[in-house]
Structure 1
Amino acid sequence: MPGHDAMARQAGEHLITRRVMLPRRVVDRPMRQVAKRILMALAVLILTTLIVWIDREGYHDNANGRVDFLDAVYYATVTLSTTGYGDIVPYSDSARLTNILLVTPLRVLFLIILVGTTLEVLTERTREEWRLNRWKAQLREHTVVIGFGTKGRSAIQTLCATGLKKDQVVIVDPSAKVIETANAEGFVGVIGDATRSDVLLRAELQKARQVVIATQRDDTAVLVTLTARQLNRGAKIVAAVREEENAPLLRQSGADAVITSASAAGRLLGLSVLSPSAGAVMEDLIQQGSGLDMVERPVKKSEVGRGVRETEDLVVSVLRGHRLLAYDDAKASPLQLTDRLITIVRAGGAQVEGQPE
């Protein structure tokens, strides 16, 4: 289907739809877990053997009447495994009381260890269900990123460099391997086709603050944008397209901003040819968190009524309502309290709009 992303076709047998994967906690390797269970079972067996051996006078062996150490090991083994042949039995009051108070609890513990794998699976499933429900209940004003390729990764790196926490990012991708990689990096992932509304609902897109669409195909980006805008009318949607001719279609579909990756890369190449230094500065500006950063911030009370060039930061544009005014536009000055400034600052010198301090 033309609406499917190229990544979906490449995923092949690894494609799993409509599944939410939370970052996994660090657990022991399977062989180490098995070794731990074996050691625990041996410890219970040894303890039971010692209990029987210490009170061996209270036990009767139907074969010869006496209970030696091998008999104690044998009795402990058949008792813990609930086999109980009846050839060795406790007959004294102390031996019977010991079986009631000590051996029986040890038998239960031994069985729990033996079926520990099954219990662990059930417990893990319950724990994951609880974590998922808790995650859904707490998730608000988050960021949904569609596609975890080069563009999606770069977008997330930029957002995280400005203070966005990883638990506030949900990644949607059709490839299970890609989502596993995202989980390993600490992100929540949803496996599935983002053109489907049920997949986006699993990402809680209806509660998201912003959506980044970084798919491999332009037609997929259009379908995802339409679906996302239908589910969330107020979210900020930013989409990337390969061909500039598709940008108007993305805007008509509901995208607030459209980035043409091929044209942007071409312009940067041309600028670098004309002036390598200017190209280096532009590259620095789009790499958030190092060197110079371009950020948006509100006008400070002390700046109200002053000119654009009188601010403490290097202002390149003024956002007034829905109009973007250049720094040299006569209408940009004086600054108003409701204005927002697009400034160039040293990395880490200012907070980006909407990110926590």
Structure 2
Amino acid sequence: MAKDTQQFITLRRFSISIVSVVLLIWAGTTGYMIIEHMTPVDALYMTVITLSTVGFSEIHTLSESGRIFTLALIIGGTSLFFFTLSNVAVFFLSGEWRSHWELQRNIRMLRKLNDHFIICGYGRLGTNVATELQEKGIPFVIIDTTIEKILLARDLGYVALKGNAADETVLKDAGLDKARGLIAAANTDAENVFIVLTARTLKPGLHIVARADCEESENKLLRAGAERVVLLYKSAGRKMANLLIDPGLEEYLDELNDAKNLDLTMSQFSVSESSSLCGLSFRQADIYNRFRVNIIGYKLPGGEIHTSPIPAEVIQKNGILIAIGKPSDIDALKQFAAGEEVKTG
């Protein structure tokens, strides 16, 4: 039996035990009031001392019906006591209380997510994507159909949700309406097509990246709504070829993408109309001396990309700068490109 189902059963039995105790006290109090004509306080007192078997004296001598009712109450109370005790023991000794607490914590974290990524599939690719996002401090939620993978993700402190990512309800529970993007990394291309199609239907403007094993699936995923498709074997083949041809360059590129090894990052961002950069040439903007950031590419508003833009080229509104530098310097330039006032050195 799946662990989440077992947890639900245990919690249900535990809740039933507590409710049963309350109902038994209510039944005992009502019974004494009807049979022995006691006041509510006296009836409650008799019920409690009977169920607890403390042996205090009776309010008054009971009638034959009252004694039979008391015997039934003692038998019911004793049986319920051992049933409740066993459920409490199972709940705490089996660690279900910890699982329940972690589940509630996961729900609270899920509700707080905003501008996050949704990782659909926690296999080998999804695991690496989650690690990268975690290291960069980017919020995300994981969706997977396997409870073992979900529990593994939660043990690492990740927000994880069990379910089929192609299900509209599951995507909505993962905060799709507030999400920044989605990664379709399920085990099969067919699953990813359905995930992309569902996500694109629910949120047309969502940024979606999907994985694919074969080239035939690339067009299907793009038609379904993916903006980018990563062909795993093609990407791996290109990387292996580069390692053979120029291992030093490939190692350097890896370091650029690894914040742990080198304090450099690569980023792209749009130039706002309100930014002082608009209308300036790259020479006039003097970005490197002002921000210590290198511009390695410039994408025109129409989509044309210029690698290593010439100094005389003019920066246009809605143009996209592709830059490399320290994270703090990149953030400063990004704010300046958005039209915010930033102090530069």
- Give TM-score scaled by structure 1 length: 0.59
Q: Distance in 2 between matches of 1:331 and 1:320?
A: 15
Contact 2:184 2:196 in 1 (8 A): yes
Aligned length: 257
Change (3 A) 1:131 1:219: same
> In the alignment, what sits opposite 1:85?
55
Q: Distance in 2 between matches of 1:243 and 1:348?
A: 39
Q: How much identity, in percent, do the aligned residues show?
A: 24
Which letter does structure 2 place at the counterpart of 1:344? Answer: I
RMSD, aligned α-carbons: 4.2
Contact 1:303 1:311 in 2 (8 A): no
Helix, strand or coil for the counterpart of 1:226?
A: helix
Match of 1:285 among 253, 256, 259: 256
Which letter does structure 1 place at the counterpart of 2:306? Answer: A
Corresponding position: 1:311 with 2:281: no
> In the alignment, what sits opposite 2:307?
327
1:201-236 deviation line (CA, Å, top 9, x unaligned): 221223312111122222211111111111211211
Which letter does structure 2 place at the counterpart of 1:199? Answer: V
> In the alignment, what sits opposite 1:162?
136
Correspondences of 1:212-291 after superposition (within 5 Å) = 212-291=183-262
How far apart are residue 319 of structure 1 and its match?
3.1
Match of 2:161 among 190, 193, 196: 190
> In the alignment, what sits opposite 1:297?
269
Corresponding position: 1:201 with 2:176: no
1:133-165 deviation line (CA, Å, top 9, x unaligned): 75565433221111122222222233333331x
Which letter does structure 2 place at the counterpart of 1:273? Answer: L
Match of 2:142 among 171, 179, 183: 171
Change (3 A) 1:240 1:126: closer
> In the alignment, what sits opposite 1:336?
316
Correspondences of 1:129-144 after superposition (within 5 Å) = 135=109, 137-144=111-118
Contact 2:109 2:159 in 1 (8 A): no
Contact 1:226 1:254 in 2 (8 A): yes
Q: Distance in 2 between matches of 1:125 and 1:225?
A: 31
Contact 2:120 2:126 in 1 (8 A): yes
Change (3 A) 1:328 1:142: closer
> In the alignment, what sits opposite 1:99?
none
Contact 2:184 2:209 in 1 (8 A): yes
Q: Distance in 2 between matches of 1:144 and 1:200?
A: 8
Which letter does structure 1 place at the counterpart of 2:54? Answer: G
Change (3 A) 1:345 1:209: same
Contact 1:162 1:289 in 2 (8 A): no
Corresponding position: 1:181 with 2:152: yes
Change (3 A) 1:331 1:346: closer
Which letter does structure 2 place at the counterpart of 1:340? Answer: I
Contact 1:317 1:324 in 2 (8 A): no
1:286-323 deviation line (CA, Å, top 9, x unaligned): 33553242212344945441227943122222233361
1:13-66 deviation line (CA, Å, top 9, x unaligned): 65979x9xxxxxxxxxxxxxxxxxxxxxxxxxxxxxxxxxxxxxxxxxxxxxxx
Contact 1:15 1:175 in 2 (8 A): no
- Structure with more contact order per residue of length (Cα contacts < 8 Å, sep ≥ 6): 1
1:246-273 deviation line (CA, Å, top 9, x unaligned): 2222111111122222111111111111
Contact 2:106 2:160 in 1 (8 A): no
Change (3 A) 1:132 1:149: closer
How far apart are residue 336 of structure 1 and its match?
2.3
Helix, strand or coil for the counterpart of 1:270?
A: helix
Change (3 A) 1:172 1:278: same
Q: Distance in 2 between matches of 1:231 and 1:173?
A: 19
> In the alignment, what sits opposite 2:330?
350
How far apart are residue 333 of structure 1 and its match?
2.2
Q: Distance in 1 between matches of 2:252 and 2:110?
A: 41
Helix, strand or coil for the counterpart of 1:163?
A: coil
Q: Distance in 2 between matches of 1:331 and 1:217?
A: 47
Corresponding position: 1:149 with 2:149: no
* Runs (5+) with no aligned partner, structure 2: 8-47, 59-80, 336-345
Q: Distance in 2 between matches of 1:204 and 1:270?
A: 40
